[in-house]
């Protein structure tokens, strides 16, 4: 007869534990949304980094082309100093 009281406590604990079981049908929806947000963030970061690298490449290419053109244009003016060494 002493075991019937502890048996009731076990049943109560089992019922309480059963009520704590997570409903997995809604959990997979939240995990799917969370995963989609993570993948979309990774995609946007990748596209942003690619655009930044491409923009930096184009900017450096334009800068160096203008610099080279400016140097070559000014080298034509230096022919004056080749013919007149003192510049007089």
Q: Look up tokens 């450096």; give the residue.
A: 60
Span 3-16, pLDDT tens digits:
455 556 666 666 66
CB 66 within 8 Å of CB 59: no
Mean pLDDT of 56-65: 96
In a domain, 10, yes or no: no
In a domain, 3, yes or no: no
Query: What pLDDT does residue 8 have?
Result: 62
Residues 6+ apart with CB under 8 A from 22: none
Radius of gyration, alpha carbons of the chain: 38
**Domains in the chain, number:** 1
Is pLDDT at 21 greater than 90 in this prediction? no
What is the spatial distance between Cα 40 and Cα 69, in angstroms, rounded to a whole number? 43
In a domain, 18, yes or no: no
Q: Look up tokens 């990748």; give the residue.
A: 46
Q: What kind and span of H or E run contains 52?
A: helix 24-77
By residue range, what is the domain housing residue 57?
24-88
Q: How confident is the model at residue 22 (pLDDT cuts 50, 70, 90)?
A: low
In a domain, 11, yes or no: no
In a domain, 17, yes or no: no
Mean of the per-residue pLDDT values for the chain? 78
């Amino acid at each position: 007869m002493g075991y019937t009281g502890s048996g009731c406590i076990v049943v109560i604990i089992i019922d309480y534990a059963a009520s704590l079981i997570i409903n997995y049908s809604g959990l997979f929806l939240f995990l799917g949304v969370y995963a989609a947000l993570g993948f979309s963030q990774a995609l946007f970061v990748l596209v942003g980094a690619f655009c930044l690298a491409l923009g930096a490449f184009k900017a450096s290419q334009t800068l160096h082309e203008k610099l080279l053109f400016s140097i070559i244009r000014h080298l034509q003016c230096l022919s004056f100093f080749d013919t007149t060494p003192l510049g007089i």
